[in-house]
Each structure stands twice: as structure tokens, then as C-alpha cells.
Structure 1
């Protein structure tokens, strides 16, 4: 049998895979990933454009290695931010930044923020306490899973 005859006898699926473009392959993978996420009870509430960090955070939550801190913005919008159990205030700030940037990329926003400016002009408060020391652990302030932290604009100090 010649090699031409062997090529013709290959299944059509291989021919389709060879002729699939990169964009088509990415669309197929995205669709399959979305189906997997929707069918899994642990991952079903995650967006289809999920990142590896978000998957790791969900797994850590499931095993009790992480907690959700609900950050309440000035417009009363609540952001559920995932941090490890032994996270510091700085870790929470990084998680807020990561959450905001992911949200912006998913809605197609291109807002560029100076996070240094944001943290100079705003405080995080929990139960009347200002979270001022970046190296303090959240547990030292009494913050537990699903507690609410408020994002408040600083008043000018004179």
C-alpha cells in the first residue's frame, strides 16, 4: 500500500485537527473548560475566563487554608477577596488589587490606577480599627472568614 493510500485512510478527525486554526483550537478548549467548570460543584460559581490563581484560591477555601474577606467600597459594592488564613494587611491589599484588575479585564475596561496613590488616600477599616500596619496579620485584628472590611477615604490631617 502506498503512502498516499495510507493518508487517505486516516480518520476524518485527524484531518479536522490538522486543519484547525489556533483561534479555533482556543475556542474549542475554552468551550470545553466552560463545560467542566459549570458541571463541577466546587467551581460552578467561577467565571469561564478563570485564572490559575482563582482555581488555587477556590481549592484553598475548600480545604480551609484560605478565607474570604468582603471589602465594602464607598459605593456600597462588595468585593469578595480571597486571602490565606495567615495573610497580612499587605496581602489583603494585593488581593484587592488583583481582584480589581481581573474585574476590569473581564468587563473590557482599561482603567490604569496608581495603587500607591490609592493606598495613600484610603484606609481599610475593620470593626472601627484602622488596618494601618502592612505587616500585621489579619487575625491580629480579629478578621475571620466572611468578615467585612470597609474601604474608606482618608480625611486630611492638618
Structure 2
């Protein structure tokens, strides 16, 4: 290493060539050595793309293979409805609280059962007129509010009978106008003649049984007019 004086720039230090080669920057060599080969990168990216493409095609083939089996397992609406009812029936049979519910239970029946369990409703029985054991239950069980009137009881009975007949597949039209024209509802010998009266006013309580009683009219006999 030598130092020379320069009039314009002062002292200038010169480095011998052999030492200059020693201090030659190596950064470009490092970068060139460590950088991945361009052809290698291109081939790797192409291989990755091919692998992804094959994977997508395989999945598509699996989905296509599964489609026929899925279609074959699709249930029609009646079959799905029957399957749901059978499953619901098994659940209801194993639950002591829900055992009285029909598999085709309605929201009104569920709400009525909840009211019954909380003591805000009561279950009353209405004996069927001319009930036959072969026809099923001899009395209809109704869940009514403790504050219901006789008229509301009659409406509940009408709705319950229609629901029972529908579940049994019986297409029968009942003229309730004729039923109430020909019969009274009776509890322990007392006829429920006032439709606006509360049920508890007749002493009706939980598990009470009501009966139909025929209405008898006094027939007036008129003699034949003589001509």
C-alpha cells in the first residue's frame, strides 16, 4: 500500500492489485450462487400446477361418482313425512311427559300440554255417545283452560273430534248444530245449559268426566179439528 501526494486532492492511497483482488466484493457471487436456477423454478411451478389440476380432476370424479348414490337415497315427500313421524313416535313413547301426544302432534296440542303441566289448564273427558270399544277410545280427552266457558269447551270438542277422525282416515261430516240441538253436556247430573258460564262454576275440575244427555221436549197434542 503506497501513499502519494496530489496537489488537487491531497494524499492518495493506492492499493496493490493482488491485495485489491483480496478485498473484491463477493456479494454478486453470493447472490448468484444462492439464487435458484430460473429453469428449476419454472419446472417446479409447472409441476405444482399439474398436481393441483390432477387433484381437482380427482375430486370432480369422486363427486360425479357420488351423485348417483345421493340421488338414489333421496326420499319423496310422503316417504320423508312417514320417516319423520316414525322417528317422532319413538321419541314420544320413551318420554313420560310426551307419551300422550300423537306422532302427528300439532303446535296447539304441545302448548296445551305445557299449560297442563304448569297447572294453567285441565284435562276433562267427554264420553262418546254410543261409544264402541272397537272404534277406539270411549271418551274424548280435552285439555282446556281453567277459565274456559261452556261454549269454548264445545269448540274444543269439535276441533278434537275432527282431528281424531282425520288421523284415523275417516271422512265423516258431523253436524254439530244438530248435536247441540239434540243434546246437553252434563256433569254429575247437572246440565250445562249456559254457554257463557265458566266451567269451574259447574264444579268442573281436572280429570272430570262429562256426558251427553238427550234433550226432551214436551209435545203438545192437538186434537183434530172437526169440519
Give the TM-score normalised by the residue count of structure 2: 0.61
Distance 1:27 1:18 in 2: 15
Partner of 2:61: 5
Distance 2:186 2:75 in 1: 53
Runs of 4+ off more than 3 Å: 8-13
Partner of 1:60: 115
Measured after TM superposition, the shift of residue 20 of structure 1 is 2.6
Give the TM-score normalised by the residue count of structure 1: 0.85
Q: Which has the higher contact order (CA 8 A, sep 6+)?
A: 1
Q: Which runs of 5+ in 1 are unaligned?
A: none
1:142 pairs, out of 180, 200, 203, with 203
1:117 pairs, out of 178, 181, 185, with 178
Structure 1 residues 17 and 53, CA, compared in 2 at 3 Å: closer, same or farther?
farther
Contact 1:65 1:85 in 2 (8 A): yes
Q: Which runs of 5+ in 2 are unaligned?
A: 1-55, 132-137, 220-227
For this pair of structures, how many residues does the alignment match? 157
Partner of 1:92: 153
Deviations 1:27-46 (A, max 9, x none): 22222211221222111132
Q: What CA RMSD, in Å, does the superposition of the two structures yield over aligned residues? A: 2.5
1:130 pairs, out of 188, 191, 196, with 191
Compare CA radii of gyration and give the structure with the larger one.
2
Deviates more, 1:37-46 or 1:118-127: 37-46
Distance 2:188 2:74 in 1: 60
Distance 1:128 1:153 in 2: 12
Distance 2:211 2:82 in 1: 39
Distance 1:132 1:18 in 2: 58
